[in-house]
Structure formats: C-alpha cells, structure tokens
C-alpha cells in the first residue's frame, strides 16, 4: 500500500544521507522524496512516498525515529491529508498543436510558463495521479522533457506536525 511519511529533522549536513542510507541498507523502497527547510531554518521537512506492508511501514517509521537528527515522524496516510506535486513538462507545440495543447493545459488547470515558436513549458500542480493523467492525455510524442518534484504532503485540518 502507498504511504506518505512526513519527517521533521535537524537541518544539518548529512541528515538527508542518513535517511536515504536507512532505506537502502534495509532494502526499503523510496518512490519519491522531497525535502527543504521549514519556516524554522534549523528544521527541514521531508515527505517520503513509499510502498509496503503494515509491518514494513511500522519498521520504517521506527527506524526513522531512531535516527539522532530526526525530530518527528508521521505517516500522513493514517489520516486525512492533502498531497501536491509540482511537474514541469516541455512539449512540442507547432501549428495547430499549439491550440490543442493550450486547451489541455487549461482543462488540467496548468500554466504555460515558457514559450518558444516550437515549444511550451507547462507547470502543473496536483497529486501524482492528476499529473500522470495529464501526461496520458496529451500526445506522447509531443513530450520533450518532464521534471517532477515528487509528493509533498500535509495533514488536513487540525493535524499539525511541528516541534
């Protein structure tokens, strides 16, 4: 089952590699990983998307908690949460394709952030399924380049992860 784990950790050199090392050393899988400092520059927040049985996820959260730099760990998928991913896609856009592409971007509530006479660069945010759907909706041959950040997740309503 898909799990989104949010981690608050000390913003120190090497902390990220400890988290990544833990996954590789114990044979766990990371599907996506986003990390950046929070409003408190001494803290980083990480969102890890992974797959695993309940037992594996339990071990992952326990091992994350064991790392000295980790302050808090929460499995967002245990409750209500929202997730977003930023995706940028550069597509070929010439002739009548340009109009069609523009329409698709509008339907998916994306934005064109760079234009040349042969291409568009499109910005899309949403959960990963929506971004996947966009890629499937447009003509595969038109895609020149794709870059995705991976999921960032946050609990809904009163669910707050902070020190």
Partner 1 sequence: MEITQAEIASAAAASAAKDQELRGAEILVKSLQAEGVKYIWGYPGGAVLHIYDAFYKQETIQHVLVRHEQAAVHAADGYARATGEVGVALVTSGPGVTNAITGIATAYMDSIPMVIITGQVPTAAIGLDAFQECDTVGITRPIVKHNFLVKDARDLAMTMKKAFHIARTGRPGPVVVDIPKDVSFNKVPYAGYPESVEMRSYNPVRKGHGGQIRKALQLLLAAKRPYIYTGGGVLLSNASAELRTLVDMLGYPCTNTLMGLGAYPASDPKFLGMLGMHGTLEANSAMQNCDVLLAVGARFDDRVIGNPKHFAQNERKIIHIDIDPSSISKRVKVDIPIVGDVKDVLTEMIAMIKESTVKPDADALGAWWDTIAGWRKRDCLKYDHGKNDVIKPQYVVETLWNMTKDADTYVTSDVGQHQMWAAQYYRFDEPRRWINSGGLGTMGVGIPYAMGIKLAKPDSEVYCITGEGSVQMCIQELSTCLQYNTPIKIVSLNNRYLGMVRQWQEMEYEGRYSHSYMDALPNFVKLAEAYGHVGMLIERAQDVEPALREARKLKDRTVFMDFRTDPTENVFPMVKAGKGITEMLLGSEDL
Output phi, psi for 127, to 5 deg. -75, 170
- The candidate with the shortest Cα–Cα distance to 6, out of 53, 45, 60, is 45
Give residues in contact with partner 1 (CB under 8 A).
9-10, 13-14, 17-18, 21, 25, 55, 58-59, 62-63, 65-66, 68-71, 163
Q: Is 37 exposed, middle or buried (0-12, 13-18, 19+ CB in 10 A)?
A: exposed
Q: Residues near 143 by Cβ (< 8 Å), separated by ≥ 6?
A: 89, 90, 91, 92, 135
Residue nearer to partner 1 on the CB measure, 39 or 117: 39
| CB 77, min distance to partner 1, A | 19
- The candidate with the shortest Cα–Cα distance to 61, out of 70, 10, 85, 160, is 70
Query: Which residue's structure tokens are 């089952």?
Result: 1
| CB 70, min distance to partner 1, A | 6
Residue nearer to partner 1 on the CB measure, 16 or 104: 16
Residue nearer to partner 1 on the CB measure, 9 or 48: 9
Residue nearer to partner 1 on the CB measure, 160 or 163: 163
| CB 86, min distance to partner 1, A | 28
| CB 89, min distance to partner 1, A | 35
């Amino acid at each position: 089952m898909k799990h989104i784990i949010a981690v608050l950790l000390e913003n120190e050199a090497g902390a990220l590699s400890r988290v990544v090392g833990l996954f590789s050393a114990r044979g766990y899988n990371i599907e996506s990983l986003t990390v950046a400092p929070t409003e408190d520059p001494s803290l980083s927040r990480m969102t890890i998307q992974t797959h695993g049985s309940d037992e594996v996820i339990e071990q992952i959260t326990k091992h994350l908690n064991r790392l000295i730099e980790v302050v808090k760990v929460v499995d967002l998928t245990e409750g209500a949460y929202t997730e977003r991913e930023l995706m940028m896609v550069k597509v070929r856009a010439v002739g009548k394709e340009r109009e069609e592409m523009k329409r698709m971007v509008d339907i998916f509530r994306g934005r064109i952030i760079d234009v040349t006479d042969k291409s568009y660069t499109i910005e899309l945010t949403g959960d990963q399924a929506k971004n996947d759907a966009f890629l499937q909706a447009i003509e595969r041959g038109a895609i020149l380049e794709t870059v995705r950040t991976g999921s960032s997740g946050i609990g809904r309503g009163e669910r707050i992860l902070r020190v």
